[in-house]
Structure 1
Amino acid sequence: MNRMDFLKKSALAVGASTVLPHGNAWATTTPNSNATFNLDYAPHQGMFAASAGKNFLDEIQYMHELGFRSIEDNGMPSRSEREQTQIGELLAKLGMRMGVFVVPKGGNGQNTLAAGKQEHLDIFLKGCRESVEVAKRVNAKWVTVVPGDYERRLPIGVQTANVIESLKRGAEIFEPHGISMVLEPLSDTPDLFLRYTDQTYEICKAVDSPSCKILYDVYHQQKNEGNLIKLMELCWSEIAYVQVGDNPGRNEPTTGEINFLNIFKWLHLKEYKGVVGMEHGMSQSGKEGEERLVQSYRAVDSFR
């Protein structure tokens, strides 16, 4: 299942319900309280559709009323230019930030940067140039890049060099615009070339550009390697963006095994000012699920 299908499905699905603990950590959520969070959490479309409706602009407004100050939208390039402009204007009016969207057609199972093929590079660079224009409309500063699958007929060192050279070309496109590609190691399949934090760190160091950094997704790295805070610390200089989802289940914090209270406290102590993308589903549907979602973030954000 690709990322967009997952998000659309999981935002509507009814999963296993987890009872929230009682106490001061679970303050009552008032939709119009406008209370911000310690960190900058970014929901995506569909998370509040039961309360705000299916119009994304209305939903963004509602997210702002709940205290969120950023959004994510992986599929932003597929929206019309008019809608992109409207979203950008609304975000500016509300003082909200645009989080990541995914560079179109760049790096997948059929178009891997590890192969060193010119046609794959051309597709990737075309997606980079298209992304610059999208970013201008929504004032985005980060775009997600996944290099694609292994090319198993080539030695791993050659594949790594191919990825590095491709990303250098992409960075040349983004640097003049102050946009960073954020490389995301994933856990979806062992066929993926990029899977580990230290591997991504090595590549970013080799590219040596402010436009090539790490997107650290806590859900994927809990599955791939664990030792979350230690590995973030080791690779911190190259981490520019964080996404979250609890494991197992890939739903909101407090539904799985990850101690997000400690992770978010650590990010705060690191003085992380970037976006924390809420790239996960919801354990419950409807307005009750939306209320639970906000309560879970209020709880794990209550570290001070």
Structure 2
Amino acid sequence: MQRRSFFKKTIAAGSGLILGGGFYSEAKEIINIKEQIFNLHYAPHLEMFKSVVGDNPIDQLQFMASQGFTAFEDNNMKDRDVDLQNEIAETLKTNNMIMGVFVAHTIGWKEPNLASGNKEKREEFLDEIKSSIQVAKRLGAKWMTVVPGAIDPKLAFEYQTANVVESLKAASEIIEPHNLIMVLEPLNFRDHPGMFLNESPQAYQICKAVDSPSCKILFDIYHQQIQEGNLIPNIDKCWDEIAYFQVGDNPGRNEPGTGEINYRNIFKHIYSKGFNGLVGMEHGNSIIGEEGAFAVINAYKDADNF
């Protein structure tokens, strides 16, 4: 039997609980637990569960839905074939899943981009924002990730900030009529040295200066644990500008429960504050293979158990 046919058959087999990686290996059956509802909209990404259902993106999405996940994100969505984007969109719609973030533009990892104030680079950025609108509409997406890129060592930081704000104001004017949101992601100094945007207060200041409903914060808890810690108080201080969360434990950038972050308390906190947006699972699996895939599912069940 082909793997896709096997997958469809086993998904329809019944309902119950996943007991862990060994359950699939021994029983060779995936149990549909769609009736289980997480408190928050956790969004896995492609590759996370491919050890269970194979490489096909649609099979992976169907599996996510079968396990109770109500959202999905894909940084690389903009680079995927349009036919695949359409197929993913239809699969999300069929399963009542929400499309999360994709990266909206080319990030200047090494050379200054938005911070430089270079008009040519700004126009390139704005052109990419325009093309991202079509991707968002195709997928029914609301959010797109923006990273201002590397610092410009030749400019005072205040000038760089002004340059970034002006670029984001221009981008907001483009996407605001479409009810889309750029989410700015601060990145930690250890994994991404030399980047302009590092901390949540900095992102908050920029969003206030841009002053648009289309420019908000992507608060990546993994990055901010490394960069600044004091997670819950900093989330509270930025709350009115946060539109999206991403997670990964530290050290290791794997699923909750594999590091030092108390994700159950953080999830409980943002839930109690009324957050109904997406929590992107932007991390790896701590264990390879099927066992690791089910370890991720069980980690979210545990962290969401509040």
Matched residues in 1 for 2:110 and 2:161: separation?
A: 16
Matched residues in 2 for 1:291 and 1:92: separation?
A: 25
AA aligned opposite 2:300: Y
Residue 218 (structure 2) aligns with: 215
Higher mean Cα deviation, 85-94 or 133-142?
A: 85-94
**Contact 1:98 1:141 (8 Å CA) reproduced:** yes
Residue 135 (structure 1) aligns with: 136
Are residue 175 (structure 1) and residue 184 (structure 2) matched? no
Task: Name the % identity.
Answer: 51
Matched residues in 1 for 2:200 and 2:108: separation?
A: 18
**Contact 2:250 2:259 (8 Å CA) reproduced:** yes
Are residue 100 (structure 1) and residue 140 (structure 2) matched? no
Residue 256 (structure 1) aligns with: 259
Matched residues in 2 for 1:270 and 1:158: separation?
A: 35
Residue 84 (structure 1) aligns with: 85
How is 1:46-85 mapped onto 2 (pairs within 5 angstroms)?
46-85=47-86
Matched residues in 1 for 2:41 and 2:103: separation?
A: 20
**Contact 1:106 1:127 (8 Å CA) reproduced:** no
- Relative to structure 1, is the Cα distance of residues 271 and 27 closer, same or farther in structure 2, using a 3 angstrom cutoff? farther
**Contact 1:33 1:67 (8 Å CA) reproduced:** yes
Residue 146 (structure 2) aligns with: 145
Alpha-carbon deviations, 1:176-202, whole Å to 9, x = none? 111100000001233000000000000
Q: 4+ residue runs of structure 1 moved beyond 2 angstroms?
A: 26-31, 106-111
Structure of greater Rg: 2
**Contact 2:46 2:74 (8 Å CA) reproduced:** yes
**Contact 2:112 2:151 (8 Å CA) reproduced:** no
| TM-score, with structure 1 as normaliser | 0.89
SS in 2 for 1:255: coil
Matched residues in 2 for 1:40 and 1:179: separation?
A: 19
AA aligned opposite 2:187: L
Residue 24 (structure 2) aligns with: none
Are residue 32 (structure 1) and residue 32 (structure 2) matched? yes
SS in 2 for 1:37: coil
Matched residues in 1 for 2:139 and 2:211: separation?
A: 26
Shift of 1:107: 4.2
Matched residues in 2 for 1:52 and 1:235: separation?
A: 39
Are residue 195 (structure 1) and residue 198 (structure 2) matched? yes
Matched residues in 2 for 1:126 and 1:178: separation?
A: 18
Q: Gaps (5+ residues) in structure 2? A: 1-16, 21-29
Residue 286 (structure 1) aligns with: 289
Higher mean Cα deviation, 106-115 or 75-84?
A: 106-115
SS in 2 for 1:92: helix
Matched residues in 2 for 1:196 and 1:146: separation?
A: 12
Q: Gaps (5+ residues) in structure 1? A: 1-25
Shift of 1:104: 2.5
Matched residues in 1 for 2:119 and 2:278: separation?
A: 34
SS in 2 for 1:144: strand
Name the Cα RMSD after superposition: 1.3
Matched residues in 1 for 2:208 and 2:77: separation?
A: 28
Matched residues in 1 for 2:244 and 2:250: separation?
A: 19
Are residue 122 (structure 1) and residue 119 (structure 2) matched? no
Matched residues in 1 for 2:131 and 2:267: separation?
A: 34
AA aligned opposite 1:227: N
Shift of 1:109: 2.6
1:228 to 228, 231, 240: 231
Matched residues in 2 for 1:98 and 1:27: separation?
A: 25
Higher mean Cα deviation, 32-41 or 228-237?
A: 32-41
